[in-house]
Amino acid sequence: MRRVALETLGCKLNFAETSTLGRQFVDHGFRVVGSGEPCDVYVLNTCSVTERADAECRQLVRRALRHSPDAYVIVVGCYAQLQPQSLASIAGVDLVLGANEKFRILQHAGSFLKNPVPEVFVSCIDEPLEFHDAFSAEVGGRTRAFLKVQDGCDYSCSFCTIPRARGASRSRSKERLLDQCRLLALEGYKEVVLTGVNVGDYGKNSGDSLLSLLKLLEQVNGIERIRVSSIEPNLLSRELIDLMIGSEKVCNHFHIPLQSGSDPVLHRMRRRYRTRDYADLIGYIKECDPGAGIGADVIVGFPGETDTLFEETYRFLADLRVSYLHVFTYSERPDTHALTLDGTVRHATRQKRSEKLRMLSQRKRHAFYNSMIGSVANVLFEGSVRDGVSSGFTENYVRVETSAPGPLSNQVRQILITAQEDEVCRGSFAEESCPMGGIPESNVGCAV
Protein backbone atom coordinates (compact mmCIF):
# COMPACT_ATOMS: atom_id res chain seq x y z
CA MET A 1 0.00 0.00 0.00
CA ARG A 2 1.38 3.42 -0.97
CA ARG A 3 1.99 5.90 1.85
CA VAL A 4 1.25 9.61 1.93
CA ALA A 5 2.51 12.10 4.50
CA LEU A 6 0.69 15.42 4.88
CA GLU A 7 2.08 18.49 6.62
CA THR A 8 0.28 21.77 7.34
CA LEU A 9 1.44 25.31 8.01
CA GLY A 10 -0.86 28.03 9.29
CA CYS A 11 -4.44 28.21 10.48
CA LYS A 12 -7.14 25.71 11.47
CA LEU A 13 -8.75 26.23 8.08
CA ASN A 14 -5.58 24.91 6.46
CA PHE A 15 -5.66 21.91 8.80
CA ALA A 16 -9.28 21.20 7.87
CA GLU A 17 -8.42 21.32 4.19
CA THR A 18 -5.39 19.07 4.65
CA SER A 19 -7.64 16.49 6.30
CA THR A 20 -9.91 16.62 3.26
CA LEU A 21 -6.91 15.99 0.99
CA GLY A 22 -5.90 13.10 3.24
CA ARG A 23 -9.31 11.50 2.87
CA GLN A 24 -8.99 11.75 -0.92
CA PHE A 25 -5.74 9.78 -0.73
CA VAL A 26 -7.28 7.17 1.60
CA ASP A 27 -10.19 6.72 -0.82
CA HIS A 28 -7.63 5.95 -3.53
CA GLY A 29 -5.87 3.24 -1.55
CA PHE A 30 -3.17 5.25 0.26
CA ARG A 31 -2.20 4.93 3.90
CA VAL A 32 -1.62 8.21 5.75
CA VAL A 33 1.61 8.27 7.78
CA GLY A 34 3.26 10.91 9.97
CA SER A 35 5.26 13.71 8.38
CA GLY A 36 8.51 12.32 9.78
CA GLU A 37 7.96 8.78 8.46
CA PRO A 38 9.07 7.27 5.15
CA CYS A 39 6.47 7.89 2.45
CA ASP A 40 5.84 7.63 -1.29
CA VAL A 41 4.03 10.98 -1.55
CA TYR A 42 4.61 14.10 0.56
CA VAL A 43 2.06 16.94 0.58
CA LEU A 44 2.83 20.35 2.13
CA ASN A 45 -0.09 22.75 2.63
CA THR A 46 1.41 26.22 2.97
CA CYS A 47 0.62 29.53 4.64
CA SER A 48 1.46 33.05 3.44
CA VAL A 49 1.22 35.05 6.67
CA THR A 50 4.93 35.59 7.39
CA GLU A 51 8.04 36.33 5.37
CA ARG A 52 9.53 33.04 6.58
CA ALA A 53 7.16 31.05 4.35
CA ASP A 54 9.71 30.38 1.61
CA ALA A 55 12.50 29.36 3.98
CA GLU A 56 10.15 27.19 6.03
CA CYS A 57 8.88 25.40 2.92
CA ARG A 58 12.42 24.67 1.77
CA GLN A 59 13.34 23.33 5.19
CA LEU A 60 10.32 21.02 5.39
CA VAL A 61 10.78 19.68 1.85
CA ARG A 62 14.46 18.94 2.55
CA ARG A 63 13.51 17.16 5.75
CA ALA A 64 10.87 15.05 3.99
CA LEU A 65 13.35 14.05 1.28
CA ARG A 66 15.89 12.99 3.90
CA HIS A 67 13.32 10.45 5.17
CA SER A 68 12.06 9.56 1.69
CA PRO A 69 14.52 10.48 -1.10
CA ASP A 70 12.22 9.20 -3.84
CA ALA A 71 8.98 10.73 -2.55
CA TYR A 72 6.76 12.63 -4.97
CA VAL A 73 6.54 16.12 -3.44
CA ILE A 74 3.43 18.29 -3.80
CA VAL A 75 3.17 21.86 -2.45
CA VAL A 76 -0.28 23.47 -2.22
CA GLY A 77 -2.06 26.28 -0.36
CA CYS A 78 -1.84 30.04 0.04
CA TYR A 79 1.88 30.45 -0.57
CA ALA A 80 1.61 28.18 -3.60
CA GLN A 81 -1.05 30.52 -5.00
CA LEU A 82 1.06 33.64 -4.40
CA GLN A 83 4.59 32.43 -5.18
CA PRO A 84 4.28 29.27 -7.32
CA GLN A 85 7.58 29.69 -9.18
CA SER A 86 9.50 30.24 -5.97
CA LEU A 87 8.14 26.95 -4.64
CA ALA A 88 8.76 25.18 -7.94
CA SER A 89 12.43 26.17 -7.66
CA ILE A 90 12.86 24.15 -4.44
CA ALA A 91 14.92 21.07 -5.19
CA GLY A 92 12.77 17.94 -5.08
CA VAL A 93 9.37 19.57 -5.61
CA ASP A 94 7.33 17.84 -8.33
CA LEU A 95 3.97 19.62 -8.32
CA VAL A 96 2.68 23.04 -7.20
CA LEU A 97 -1.08 23.64 -6.96
CA GLY A 98 -2.94 26.89 -6.34
CA ALA A 99 -6.09 27.62 -4.35
CA ASN A 100 -8.54 26.17 -6.86
CA GLU A 101 -6.38 23.26 -7.97
CA LYS A 102 -5.37 21.70 -4.64
CA PHE A 103 -8.65 19.82 -4.26
CA ARG A 104 -7.98 18.09 -7.59
CA ILE A 105 -4.62 16.92 -6.35
CA LEU A 106 -4.99 13.32 -7.51
CA GLN A 107 -5.92 14.30 -11.05
CA HIS A 108 -2.98 16.69 -11.36
CA ALA A 109 -0.48 14.25 -9.84
CA GLY A 110 -1.41 11.41 -12.20
CA SER A 111 0.91 8.44 -11.63
CA PHE A 112 3.04 10.20 -8.96
CA LEU A 113 6.25 9.84 -10.97
CA LYS A 114 9.07 12.26 -10.12
CA ASN A 115 9.25 15.18 -12.53
CA PRO A 116 12.58 16.49 -13.87
CA VAL A 117 10.77 19.84 -14.24
CA PRO A 118 8.07 20.65 -11.63
CA GLU A 119 4.53 21.10 -12.89
CA VAL A 120 2.65 24.24 -11.79
CA PHE A 121 -1.14 24.68 -11.92
CA VAL A 122 -2.41 28.01 -10.56
CA SER A 123 -5.60 29.75 -11.66
CA CYS A 124 -6.11 33.50 -11.64
CA ILE A 125 -7.50 34.40 -8.23
CA ASP A 126 -9.80 37.01 -9.81
CA GLU A 127 -11.86 34.26 -11.40
CA PRO A 128 -14.79 32.89 -9.34
CA LEU A 129 -13.51 30.12 -7.13
CA GLU A 130 -15.38 27.05 -5.97
CA PHE A 131 -16.21 26.36 -2.35
CA HIS A 132 -14.60 23.08 -1.30
CA ASP A 133 -15.94 21.30 1.77
CA ALA A 134 -13.47 20.56 4.55
CA PHE A 135 -13.36 19.38 8.14
CA SER A 136 -10.67 17.96 10.39
CA ALA A 137 -10.40 16.29 13.75
CA GLU A 138 -8.15 17.71 16.45
CA VAL A 139 -5.27 15.46 17.41
CA GLY A 140 -6.16 13.15 20.24
CA GLY A 141 -9.39 11.54 19.12
CA ARG A 142 -12.89 12.26 17.92
CA THR A 143 -13.74 15.04 20.31
CA ARG A 144 -13.53 18.30 18.37
CA ALA A 145 -14.01 18.79 14.62
CA PHE A 146 -13.15 21.91 12.63
CA LEU A 147 -15.84 22.60 10.05
CA LYS A 148 -15.15 24.98 7.16
CA VAL A 149 -18.16 27.26 6.66
CA GLN A 150 -16.61 30.17 4.73
CA ASP A 151 -13.62 30.92 2.52
CA GLY A 152 -11.97 34.00 1.01
CA CYS A 153 -12.14 37.64 2.06
CA ASP A 154 -13.44 40.89 0.57
CA TYR A 155 -11.50 43.12 2.97
CA SER A 156 -8.40 45.10 2.01
CA CYS A 157 -6.31 45.26 5.19
CA SER A 158 -3.01 46.80 4.16
CA PHE A 159 -0.83 44.05 5.72
CA CYS A 160 -2.70 41.00 4.41
CA THR A 161 -2.19 38.71 1.40
CA ILE A 162 -5.11 36.37 2.10
CA PRO A 163 -7.60 37.94 -0.38
CA ARG A 164 -5.01 37.39 -3.13
CA ALA A 165 -4.34 33.86 -1.93
CA ARG A 166 -7.94 32.70 -1.41
CA GLY A 167 -10.10 35.04 -3.50
CA ALA A 168 -13.46 36.61 -2.74
CA SER A 169 -15.64 35.73 0.24
CA ARG A 170 -17.92 32.74 -0.34
CA SER A 171 -19.84 30.32 1.86
CA ARG A 172 -21.38 26.87 1.85
CA SER A 173 -25.18 26.77 2.19
CA LYS A 174 -26.42 26.31 5.74
CA GLU A 175 -28.44 23.26 4.64
CA ARG A 176 -25.25 21.58 3.41
CA LEU A 177 -23.45 22.50 6.62
CA LEU A 178 -26.34 21.11 8.64
CA ASP A 179 -25.91 17.78 6.84
CA GLN A 180 -22.17 17.81 7.50
CA CYS A 181 -22.72 18.62 11.16
CA ARG A 182 -25.12 15.70 11.48
CA LEU A 183 -22.51 13.39 9.96
CA LEU A 184 -19.93 14.63 12.46
CA ALA A 185 -22.36 13.89 15.27
CA LEU A 186 -22.90 10.35 13.93
CA GLU A 187 -19.12 9.88 13.88
CA GLY A 188 -19.00 10.74 17.57
CA TYR A 189 -17.76 14.33 17.67
CA LYS A 190 -19.09 16.36 20.60
CA GLU A 191 -17.77 19.81 19.58
CA VAL A 192 -17.73 21.56 16.22
CA VAL A 193 -15.53 24.61 15.61
CA LEU A 194 -16.69 26.82 12.73
CA THR A 195 -13.69 27.95 10.66
CA GLY A 196 -13.06 30.18 7.68
CA VAL A 197 -11.02 33.17 6.55
CA ASN A 198 -13.69 35.66 7.67
CA VAL A 199 -16.32 33.61 9.49
CA GLY A 200 -18.43 36.63 10.43
CA ASP A 201 -18.95 37.27 6.71
CA TYR A 202 -20.76 33.95 6.40
CA GLY A 203 -23.71 34.02 3.99
CA LYS A 204 -23.24 37.65 2.84
CA ASN A 205 -23.92 36.75 -0.82
CA SER A 206 -26.85 34.41 -0.17
CA GLY A 207 -28.97 36.27 2.35
CA ASP A 208 -27.86 33.95 5.15
CA SER A 209 -25.89 34.97 8.23
CA LEU A 210 -23.71 33.45 10.93
CA LEU A 211 -26.58 34.07 13.34
CA SER A 212 -29.02 31.98 11.28
CA LEU A 213 -26.41 29.25 10.79
CA LEU A 214 -25.78 28.97 14.53
CA LYS A 215 -29.49 28.74 15.25
CA LEU A 216 -29.75 25.89 12.75
CA LEU A 217 -26.71 23.97 14.00
CA GLU A 218 -27.98 24.21 17.59
CA GLN A 219 -30.65 21.70 16.58
CA VAL A 220 -28.19 18.89 15.75
CA ASN A 221 -28.55 16.04 18.23
CA GLY A 222 -25.24 14.71 19.53
CA ILE A 223 -23.30 17.92 19.05
CA GLU A 224 -22.96 19.41 22.53
CA ARG A 225 -20.80 22.41 21.69
CA ILE A 226 -20.44 24.85 18.81
CA ARG A 227 -17.44 27.17 18.89
CA VAL A 228 -16.76 30.11 16.57
CA SER A 229 -13.05 30.19 15.75
CA SER A 230 -12.62 33.93 15.13
CA ILE A 231 -14.80 36.87 14.16
CA GLU A 232 -14.03 40.42 13.06
CA PRO A 233 -15.18 43.08 15.57
CA ASN A 234 -17.23 44.99 12.99
CA LEU A 235 -19.19 41.79 12.26
CA LEU A 236 -19.88 40.81 15.87
CA SER A 237 -23.33 42.26 16.48
CA ARG A 238 -25.01 42.47 19.86
CA GLU A 239 -27.66 40.06 18.60
CA LEU A 240 -24.92 37.55 17.80
CA ILE A 241 -23.28 38.10 21.19
CA ASP A 242 -26.64 37.54 22.92
CA LEU A 243 -27.06 34.23 21.09
CA MET A 244 -23.54 33.03 21.86
CA ILE A 245 -23.89 33.84 25.55
CA GLY A 246 -27.47 32.66 25.97
CA SER A 247 -27.21 29.43 23.96
CA GLU A 248 -26.93 26.04 25.65
CA LYS A 249 -24.60 24.85 22.88
CA VAL A 250 -22.71 27.83 21.46
CA CYS A 251 -19.59 28.48 23.54
CA ASN A 252 -19.09 31.73 25.45
CA HIS A 253 -15.65 32.03 23.88
CA PHE A 254 -14.83 34.92 21.55
CA HIS A 255 -11.68 35.36 19.51
CA ILE A 256 -11.79 38.91 18.14
CA PRO A 257 -8.86 40.31 16.10
CA LEU A 258 -7.78 43.76 17.29
CA GLN A 259 -4.40 44.21 15.53
CA SER A 260 -3.61 47.55 17.22
CA GLY A 261 -4.75 49.58 20.21
CA SER A 262 -3.84 52.83 18.46
CA ASP A 263 -6.33 54.56 16.13
CA PRO A 264 -3.66 56.03 13.82
CA VAL A 265 -2.19 52.55 13.31
CA LEU A 266 -5.63 51.01 12.76
CA HIS A 267 -6.25 53.63 10.08
CA ARG A 268 -2.98 52.72 8.36
CA MET A 269 -3.93 49.06 8.58
CA ARG A 270 -7.26 49.83 6.85
CA ARG A 271 -9.21 48.21 9.67
CA ARG A 272 -12.97 48.82 9.85
CA TYR A 273 -13.32 49.99 13.46
CA ARG A 274 -11.58 52.12 16.04
CA THR A 275 -10.41 51.39 19.56
CA ARG A 276 -13.59 52.84 21.13
CA ASP A 277 -15.72 50.42 19.06
CA TYR A 278 -13.58 47.50 20.19
CA ALA A 279 -13.64 48.52 23.86
CA ASP A 280 -17.43 48.91 23.76
CA LEU A 281 -17.71 45.41 22.27
CA ILE A 282 -15.60 43.83 25.01
CA GLY A 283 -17.49 45.81 27.65
CA TYR A 284 -20.84 44.53 26.38
CA ILE A 285 -19.65 40.91 26.36
CA LYS A 286 -18.32 41.15 29.91
CA GLU A 287 -21.45 42.93 31.09
CA CYS A 288 -23.55 40.06 29.74
CA ASP A 289 -21.21 37.32 30.95
CA PRO A 290 -18.21 38.11 33.22
CA GLY A 291 -16.98 34.54 32.67
CA ALA A 292 -16.76 34.76 28.89
CA GLY A 293 -13.35 33.94 27.46
CA ILE A 294 -12.03 36.56 25.02
CA GLY A 295 -8.88 36.39 22.93
CA ALA A 296 -7.41 39.15 20.76
CA ASP A 297 -4.90 39.19 17.88
CA VAL A 298 -2.34 42.00 17.91
CA ILE A 299 0.27 42.93 15.28
CA VAL A 300 3.38 44.63 16.64
CA GLY A 301 5.81 46.81 14.70
CA PHE A 302 3.55 47.88 11.83
CA PRO A 303 4.98 50.76 9.73
CA GLY A 304 4.41 54.06 11.51
CA GLU A 305 4.06 52.49 14.98
CA THR A 306 6.22 54.85 17.01
CA ASP A 307 7.18 54.25 20.63
CA THR A 308 4.32 56.54 21.65
CA LEU A 309 1.76 54.68 19.52
CA PHE A 310 2.97 51.32 20.80
CA GLU A 311 2.52 52.55 24.37
CA GLU A 312 -1.05 53.51 23.41
CA THR A 313 -1.61 49.91 22.34
CA TYR A 314 -0.03 48.57 25.52
CA ARG A 315 -2.13 50.76 27.82
CA PHE A 316 -5.28 49.98 25.84
CA LEU A 317 -4.71 46.25 26.17
CA ALA A 318 -3.68 46.46 29.81
CA ASP A 319 -7.05 48.03 30.63
CA LEU A 320 -9.05 45.74 28.34
CA ARG A 321 -10.90 42.79 29.88
CA VAL A 322 -9.58 40.18 27.45
CA SER A 323 -8.38 36.76 28.61
CA TYR A 324 -5.32 36.30 26.39
CA LEU A 325 -3.48 37.75 23.38
CA HIS A 326 -2.12 36.24 20.20
CA VAL A 327 0.84 38.48 19.42
CA PHE A 328 2.23 38.63 15.88
CA THR A 329 5.39 40.46 14.89
CA TYR A 330 4.71 42.45 11.71
CA SER A 331 6.11 40.74 8.64
CA GLU A 332 6.52 42.42 5.26
CA ARG A 333 4.51 40.63 2.58
CA PRO A 334 4.96 41.14 -1.17
CA ASP A 335 2.46 43.32 -3.05
CA THR A 336 0.71 44.63 0.06
CA HIS A 337 -0.13 48.31 0.56
CA ALA A 338 1.82 48.30 3.83
CA LEU A 339 5.07 48.10 1.84
CA THR A 340 4.40 51.61 0.51
CA LEU A 341 4.07 53.14 3.99
CA ASP A 342 6.85 55.04 5.69
CA GLY A 343 7.99 54.59 9.27
CA THR A 344 9.56 51.13 9.09
CA VAL A 345 10.16 49.73 12.58
CA ARG A 346 13.53 48.08 13.28
CA HIS A 347 13.31 44.29 13.68
CA ALA A 348 14.94 44.42 17.11
CA THR A 349 12.30 46.92 18.23
CA ARG A 350 9.52 44.70 16.86
CA GLN A 351 10.85 41.75 18.85
CA LYS A 352 11.14 43.79 22.02
CA ARG A 353 7.57 45.05 21.73
CA SER A 354 6.28 41.55 20.94
CA GLU A 355 7.90 40.17 24.07
CA LYS A 356 6.38 42.94 26.19
CA LEU A 357 2.87 42.10 24.93
CA ARG A 358 3.43 38.37 25.38
CA MET A 359 4.29 38.98 29.01
CA LEU A 360 1.11 41.04 29.33
CA SER A 361 -0.83 38.16 27.79
CA GLN A 362 0.60 35.75 30.38
CA ARG A 363 -0.55 38.01 33.20
CA LYS A 364 -4.02 38.33 31.69
CA ARG A 365 -4.37 34.59 31.21
CA HIS A 366 -3.17 34.01 34.76
CA ALA A 367 -5.75 36.48 36.13
CA PHE A 368 -8.54 34.96 34.03
CA TYR A 369 -7.71 31.42 35.13
CA ASN A 370 -7.49 32.61 38.72
CA SER A 371 -11.02 34.01 38.40
CA MET A 372 -12.24 30.49 37.61
CA ILE A 373 -11.16 29.07 40.99
CA GLY A 374 -14.18 28.06 43.06
CA SER A 375 -16.49 27.78 40.06
CA VAL A 376 -17.90 24.64 38.47
CA ALA A 377 -17.24 24.22 34.75
CA ASN A 378 -18.39 21.73 32.13
CA VAL A 379 -15.19 20.22 30.72
CA LEU A 380 -15.08 18.26 27.46
CA PHE A 381 -12.22 15.82 27.97
CA GLU A 382 -10.01 14.72 25.12
CA GLY A 383 -7.11 12.38 24.49
CA SER A 384 -5.88 9.65 26.75
CA VAL A 385 -5.01 9.65 30.43
CA ARG A 386 -1.36 10.58 31.00
CA ASP A 387 0.19 9.81 34.40
CA GLY A 388 -3.31 9.47 35.83
CA VAL A 389 -4.38 12.92 34.58
CA SER A 390 -7.02 13.77 31.96
CA SER A 391 -7.44 17.18 30.37
CA GLY A 392 -10.00 19.07 28.34
CA PHE A 393 -11.53 22.47 27.73
CA THR A 394 -14.35 24.44 29.26
CA GLU A 395 -16.87 26.32 27.11
CA ASN A 396 -14.90 29.53 27.65
CA TYR A 397 -11.71 27.83 26.46
CA VAL A 398 -9.83 27.17 29.66
CA ARG A 399 -7.73 24.01 29.73
CA VAL A 400 -8.53 21.94 32.83
CA GLU A 401 -6.69 18.92 34.22
CA THR A 402 -7.99 16.46 36.78
CA SER A 403 -6.93 13.12 38.24
CA ALA A 404 -8.90 10.36 36.56
CA PRO A 405 -9.12 6.63 37.30
CA GLY A 406 -9.66 5.87 33.61
CA PRO A 407 -10.10 7.45 30.18
CA LEU A 408 -12.54 10.36 29.99
CA SER A 409 -12.05 11.08 26.30
CA ASN A 410 -15.12 12.65 24.66
CA GLN A 411 -17.01 12.96 27.94
CA VAL A 412 -18.42 16.19 29.35
CA ARG A 413 -18.04 16.27 33.14
CA GLN A 414 -18.65 18.95 35.76
CA ILE A 415 -15.37 19.96 37.37
CA LEU A 416 -14.87 22.14 40.43
CA ILE A 417 -11.89 24.40 39.65
CA THR A 418 -9.58 24.39 42.68
CA ALA A 419 -6.29 25.86 41.46
CA GLN A 420 -4.39 27.20 38.48
CA GLU A 421 -0.85 26.46 37.43
CA ASP A 422 0.99 27.98 34.44
CA GLU A 423 -1.56 27.82 31.61
CA VAL A 424 -3.77 25.12 33.12
CA CYS A 425 -6.55 25.03 35.71
CA ARG A 426 -6.81 22.03 38.00
CA GLY A 427 -9.90 20.60 39.58
CA SER A 428 -11.89 17.66 40.88
CA PHE A 429 -15.17 16.10 39.91
CA ALA A 430 -17.96 18.31 41.22
CA GLU A 431 -20.02 15.35 42.39
CA GLU A 432 -17.08 14.17 44.51
CA SER A 433 -16.56 17.66 45.95
CA CYS A 434 -20.22 17.83 47.03
CA PRO A 435 -21.31 14.73 49.00
CA MET A 436 -24.96 15.29 48.02
CA GLY A 437 -24.00 15.47 44.35
CA GLY A 438 -24.87 19.12 43.97
CA ILE A 439 -22.94 22.18 42.93
CA PRO A 440 -21.62 24.39 45.75
CA GLU A 441 -24.28 26.98 46.45
CA SER A 442 -21.84 29.88 46.11
CA ASN A 443 -21.20 28.86 42.52
CA VAL A 444 -24.75 28.48 41.28
CA GLY A 445 -25.19 30.75 38.29
CA CYS A 446 -21.47 31.30 37.85
CA ALA A 447 -20.82 31.99 34.19
CA VAL A 448 -18.34 29.57 32.71
Residue type at 210 in one-letter notation = L
Report the CATH number of the 3-121 domain: 3.40.50.12160
- The Cα-based distances of 398 to 154, 294, 381 in angstroms read 32, 11, 12
| CA–CA dist 305, 292 (Å, integer) | 31
Contact 274, 234 (CB under 8 A): no
Pick the CATH number of 373-443 from 2.40.50.140, 3.20.20.70, 3.40.80.10, 3.30.360.10: 2.40.50.140
Q: How far is CA 122 from the centre of its chain?
A: 25
Q: How far is CA 280 from the centre of its chain?
A: 24
Collapsed DSSP state (helix, strand, coil) of residue 418: strand
Class of CATH domain 252-370: alpha beta
126-251 matches 252-370 in fold = yes
pLDDT on residue 384 = 65
Outline where DSSP puts E strands in 265-423.
293-300, 324-329, 376-386, 389-393, 399-403, 412-421
Pick the CATH number of 126-251 from 3.90.950.10, 3.30.750.210, 3.40.50.720, 3.40.1190.20: 3.30.750.210
Q: How far is CA 282 from the centre of its chain?
A: 20
Contact 57, 43 (CB under 8 A): no
Residues with Cβ < 8 Å from 446, sequence gap 6 or more?
291, 375, 376
Q: Report domain extents, the chain.
A: 3-121, 126-251, 252-370, 373-443
pLDDT values of the chain reduced to their tens digit, one per residue, 448 residues: 999 999 998 888 888 899 889 999 999 999 999 988 999 999 999 988 777 776 788 899 999 999 899 999 999 999 999 999 989 999 999 999 998 899 999 999 999 999 889 999 998 877 656 788 777 765 445 688 999 999 999 999 999 998 988 999 999 999 999 999 999 999 899 999 999 999 999 999 888 999 999 999 999 999 999 999 999 999 999 999 999 999 999 999 999 999 999 999 999 999 999 999 999 999 999 999 999 999 999 999 999 999 999 999 999 999 999 999 999 999 998 889 999 999 999 999 999 999 999 999 999 999 999 999 999 999 999 876 678 899 999 999 999 999 987 888 899 999 999 999 888 999 999 876 554 444 444 333 333 3
Collapsed DSSP state (helix, strand, coil) of residue 279: helix
| CA–CA dist 31, 57 (Å, integer) | 23
Q: How far is CA 226 from the centre of its chain?
A: 14
Half-sphere exposure of residue 352: CA atoms within 13 angstroms, side-chain side:
8
Query: Minimal CA–CA distance to 303: which of 277, 276, 355, 267?
Result: 267
